[in-house]
Copies of this chain bind each other. A is one copy, B any other.
């Protein structure tokens, strides 16, 4: 059981703080630039103090988790004041561990690989948590914390974590965008997005059980230029989507 400072009150901070308390840890402080946001989260917690100040020298926490936007991270860390024995970790997929060095030597990364939305509950048990640390004590503590939330704990270096984040953007953010495009094309011809659900589920199930490269089907894979031309003509009305169609078709065809 750890005492934890949560820096941030966005989607990741929100789900993480609530889940950590569910697993028996104690959130001592919640920071947000806007104290009202910190309060919204602290109200979900047992007895966390909400604050918009980054001076935690009086805190008795073991670990401080910084879950803020990537472009705010440097500034927040530079302003942090922590007791010397507190382990400082951020939750970013893209930032190096070293960005934390300005504050303390006792640093690490605690990156839960999942897409969070405040309004949607999520089970942590199957979420991979990727950790990294500058020393063995910090690694042990972050490992123990991660294991209390999830059965999938990975020790990755910053370069692997960056690759993982890019893969996640491609497989998830981009996939979601493609599904949005498909929905729009159907909407415009008065068809229901749900028509595609069995096909989408089968596609995902295949990609996970076979190698996606072996599972590839469709006009680009077959080199069916007549169908591709028809589709590109249809997509004249959607220039941005036409560009995506062309780029991905080229990539599939060049395999």
Q: Mark A47-66, 1 if CB is under 8 A from B, else 0.
A: 00000000000000000000
Separation of A111 and B119 alpha carbons in the complex (Å): 38
Interface residue? A126 (CB, 8 A): yes
Looking across the interface, which residue of chain B has its beta carbon closest to that of A235?
Answer: B166
Interface centre among A227, A231, A254 (most CB of B within 10 A): A227
**A160-B191, A171-B178, A241-B251 given; 10 more Cβ-contact pairs under 8 Å:** A113-B196, A114-B198, A116-B217, A167-B183, A171-B182, A172-B203, A173-B220, A176-B206, A177-B251, A177-B252
Are A221 and B173 interface neighbours, CB within 8 A? yes
Please pick, from B122, B226, B250, the residue contacting A71 in the complex, using a CB distance under 8 A: B226
Q: Mark A186-214, 1 if CB is under 8 A from B, else 0.
A: 10111100011111111110111011110
Interface residue? A168 (CB, 8 A): yes
Please pick, from B174, B183, B185, B207, the residue contacting A248 in the complex, using a CB distance under 8 A: B174
Known: A178-B170, A230-B94. A113 touches B195 (CB 8 A): yes
Q: Chain B contacts of A128 at CB under 8 A?
A: 195, 198-199
Q: Chain B contacts of A204 at CB under 8 A?
A: 175, 179, 200-201, 204
Please pick, from B11, B70, B115, the residue contacting A227 in the complex, using a CB distance under 8 A: B70
- The distance from the CB of A134 to the nearest CB of chain B, in whole angstroms, is 21
Q: Chain B contacts of A173 at CB under 8 A?
A: 216-221, 252
Q: Chain B contacts of A154 at CB under 8 A?
A: 191, 195
